[in-house]
A = this chain, B = another copy of it.
Amino acid sequence: MADLKSQHLFMSKKLKTGVIGLGRIGQIHLANILYHTPNAEIVIASDVSATAHETAKRAGVATTVSAEEVIGHPDVDAVIICAPTPLHVPYTIAAAQAKKHVFCEKPLDVTVAEIKSAQKAVNENEVKLMLGFNRRFDPNFLKVRSLVAAGNIGEPHILRITSRDPAPPPLEYVKVSGGIFLDMAIHDFDMARYITGSEVKDVFVKGDALIDPRIKEFNDIDTAVIVLGFENGAIGVIDNSRKAVYGYDQRLEVFGSKGMAKAENNTEDNVVRYNNEGGASALPLHFFLERYEKAYRNCLQSFVDCVIENKPSPVDAHDGLMATAIGIAAGISLREKRTVAIKEIL
């Protein structure tokens, strides 16, 4: 799939956005609006750090320390929330009440109640809410989804997702991350629902701390195999690891009554070298921002387009609710060593 940008290159109608939070992800969205989303522009961005202000100013972007100022700015039509997770719902509700559309980073929240309150505010104020499950917009996964949706693999029977990070986060981060299920596997839970087009009914987890035993002190694990039951009868299995020394391993496969489709990794290049010792090829792209470069662009572009063209949000509050609910159920399954039904959570 081509960069969506080229289709819009010199468009005149533009969505006016404000960005809340200029950490790593906030800067990515900022750069994508500036350089890769021709029908969007930035009015103002907020962050509490002075360094972030410097960076934004060099790119010609006005800044403030106040998220409220971004939400309340009269020229801002949509806010892009990249603040820490506990602030996602409060800012979403405030923006909705100010009649601003919202793009919010995942997860929307780690509790069902909070997500439902955001969902309520968005519905009542008739604004769009889109969650940043960017992987849905990756060309490989888009292709697999389109094959499944077109019936090319028949009834889905087995879904396999391999999702392994190149390196574990610092232990300080682990402590506040919400755990492997709500921090890392949540992407895979969303992907499982997206690819199969079916809700998850129950979840079973087997996991351990095989990379770094200290992670257990925070009641967390670093290696997991997660079995999902879907409402359409399919069975899913996700394998997660916090440390794949060969890079960021992001593959999936769906097997059904008429065939199978699998997405392999994107690699640094397509060169193979042979000498007397063997064949050597490139590793999977290591850094998530590089691996999902197009996904991030396509994702933000989809938000901008859904607002401008008044289409339904491609990833809405219900999607956020379900991904979080599966994550909560996975945590219970690990602790109680049993299959947990999603309806126990909702």
Contacts and interface: CB of A to CB of B under 8 A. Distances in A.
Contacts of A244: 255, 260
Interface string A164-182: 1000000000000000000
B225 A237 contact: yes
Contact of A223 (B11, B235, B243, B270): B235
A311 B143 CA distance: 43
Contact of A246 (B5, B143, B274): B274
Interface in A290-339: 290, 293, 337-339
Interface in A270-298: 270-276, 278-284, 287, 289-290, 293
A233 B208 contact: yes
Interface string A198-213: 0000001011101100
A43 B36 CA distance: 20
Interface stretch (A75-83, A99-107, A147-155): A147-155
Interface residues of A, number: 90
A1 to B, nearest CB: 7
Interface string A50-89: 0000010011000000000000000000000000000000
A204 B207 contact: no
B225 A5 contact: no
9 contacts: A153-B273, A206-B229, A245-B257, A245-B258, A258-B276, A259-B275, A259-B276, A262-B272, A281-B281
Interface of A: 1-3, 5-6, 9-12, 27, 31, 34-36, 55, 58-59, 139-140, 142-144, 147, 152-153, 155, 157-158, 160, 162, 164, 204, 206-208, 210-211, 223-225, 227, 229, 233-237, 239, 241, 243-247, 249, 255, 257-276, 278-284, 287, 289-290, 293, 337-339
Nearest to A276: B245
Given A244-B260, A275-B258, A281-B281, A59 B9 contact: yes
